Chain A
Amino acid sequence: DADVTQTPRNRITKTGKRIMLECSQTKGHDRMYWYRQDPGLGLRLIYYSFDVKDINKGEISDGYSVSRQAQAKFSLSLESAIPNQTALYFCATSQGWETQYFGPGTRLLVL
C-alpha cells in the first residue's frame, strides 16, 4: 500500500553494525507495527505501538529496538546486527483492531 513506505527497500550490512529501518505512513493511523518474515515461518511481531507514547514488545523483540518519533513514523533498529537477523521486514499500520496496512518491506542481509 503506497500509504505506508519503508526505507531502505534493500540493505546489506555486516555483523556488528548498527542499522535503522524506517517506516512512514500517511493514513493517519495511531497503531504501527514491525514484523519480520522468514521462509516457512510467516510473519512474527517484533514491536508495536498504539500511539506516540506507547511501545510494546512483540513475540521476538530481543536484539531489536524501536522509536516512535511521531504518529506517522516508526523506526526499527538493530543495535548490533547478526546473520540470523537476515530477513524481510514489514511495517504495518492500523486504526484500532481493523485492517492492518502493510508497507512494501525491507529486505535485509547481514553478512
Chain B
Amino acid sequence: LAKTTQPISMDSYEGQEVNITCSHNNIATNDYITWYQQFPSQGPRFIIQGYKTKVTNEVASLFIPADRKSSTLSLPRVSLSDTAVYYCLVVTSDNYGQNFVFGPGTRLSVLP
C-alpha cells in the first residue's frame, strides 16, 4: 500500500511560484498521481493528474521524475485565493483491488 508524505505547511507571497512536493516511495508501476485543493468547509477539488514526466493545465503543472517516488505540484504566480490545503492522491491497484491513498495535506498560506 502506497504511503504518501507532504510538508505540513508553506508560506508564500502573491505573484510567486509555489512548488509542493509529495513523496510516495513505494508507488507501483500503474499508479496515477493526482492533486486536490481544499478550502475550509468544502470538499477537495481536482487540480491536476499525471502518470509520468510533466503535465500542465490552465492552473498548475505536475512534475514526476523518472523513478516516480515523488511528484511536485507547481502553482505559477499564486494569489491570495490560492490559500488552501493541497493534497496528493495516489491510486494503487493490486491483486486485492484498488486503494486511494491521500497525503496528509500541505497548508499553503499566500501573503500579500
Please tell me if A33 contacts chain B, counting CB pairs below 8 Å: yes
Chain B residue numbers with a CB within 8 Å of A41 are 104
The interface stretch among B12-20, B58-66, B76-84, B94-102 is B94-102
B residues 51-87 near A (Cβ < 8 Å) are 87
- The digit string for A68-99, where 1 denotes a CB below 8 A from any CB of B, is 00000000000000000000001010000111
B interface residues (Cβ-Cβ under 8 A, vs A): 1, 8, 32, 34, 36, 41-46, 49, 87, 89, 91, 97-105
Would you give 30 A-B contacts (Cβ < 8 Å), ordered by A? A4-B43, A33-B100, A35-B102, A40-B104, A41-B104, A42-B87, A42-B102, A42-B104, A43-B87, A44-B102, A56-B97, A56-B98, A58-B99, A58-B100, A59-B1, A59-B101, A90-B44, A97-B91, A99-B46, A99-B49, A100-B34, A100-B44, A100-B46, A100-B89, A101-B46, A102-B43, A102-B45, A103-B43, A105-B41, A105-B43
